Amino acid sequence: WDTVVVDIDWADPTARSHGYNESAPLVIDEFGRVQPDPVRFPSASGGAGFGPLAQRIHELGLKFGIHLMRGIPRIAVDRDLPVRGAEATAAGIADPANVCEWNPHYLGLDHRGPGAAAYYRSLAEQYAQWGVDFIKADDMLFPYHEREIASYARAIARSGRDIELSLSPGTDVSVAHLDHLRENAAMWRVCDDLWD
């Protein structure tokens, strides 16, 4: 192996080993982007994000990755925070009817306007600044979120950093999407988690 990936819920100070806490107080910045909880990740203090941790991983000769959820944090929508680089707000780009069935922390995005793409661009730019090499984007494949996948892939391509995109979960992945997957991702899951 050559990549160390920080898995799910790194922005939740109340995270537990299994399951998700309703109304989790995710750590976010002024643009609604999740940040590492500085108590659990002390090197992230002072707004450093995962930059110092990524640098240390790179010094070990390894690549650094993070797990992300599709969409935007509910807490950012509730606060109606501005979207960096757009004349839009979190509430204006959220799609409350498009939610993850197993993680209550996020809402899907409404891609009919430019705000959703701008939000994903702001995420990718931040991750590039941190030195992220690998993104595991979750809740993308079941059901298949074609617009979300393409938007995230475009944002990563524009970030100025070579970042591999991996998609999850693998529930009911169909070869009907193979061309689209190959155009937009480096890899994708073909099975559920072990306990499923």
Going by pLDDT thresholds of 50, 70 and 90, the confidence category of residue 196 is low
- 181 token code pair: 């997957």
Separation of alpha carbons 156 and 154, rounded Å: 5
DSSP string for residues in 94-122: EEEEEE-SS-TTEEEE-TTSTHHHHHHHH
**Per-residue model confidence (pLDDT) at position 17:** 85
Separation of alpha carbons 175 and 80, rounded Å: 38
Going by pLDDT thresholds of 50, 70 and 90, the confidence category of residue 141 is very high
Q: pTM of the predicted model, to two decimals?
A: 0.94
The residue-averaged pLDDT of 12-23 equals 88
Q: Worst-scoring range by mean pLDDT, 12-21, 117-126, 156-165?
A: 12-21
Helix (DSSP H) and strand (DSSP E) numbers for the chain: 6, 8
pLDDT (tens digit per residue) in 69-125: 999 999 999 999 999 999 999 999 999 999 998 899 999 999 998 999 999 999 999
Select from 41, 35, 43 the least CA-distant residue to 11. Answer: 35
Q: Which amino acid is at 87?
A: E
Helix (H) or strand (E) holding 125: helix 115-130
Separation of alpha carbons 124 and 63, rounded Å: 16
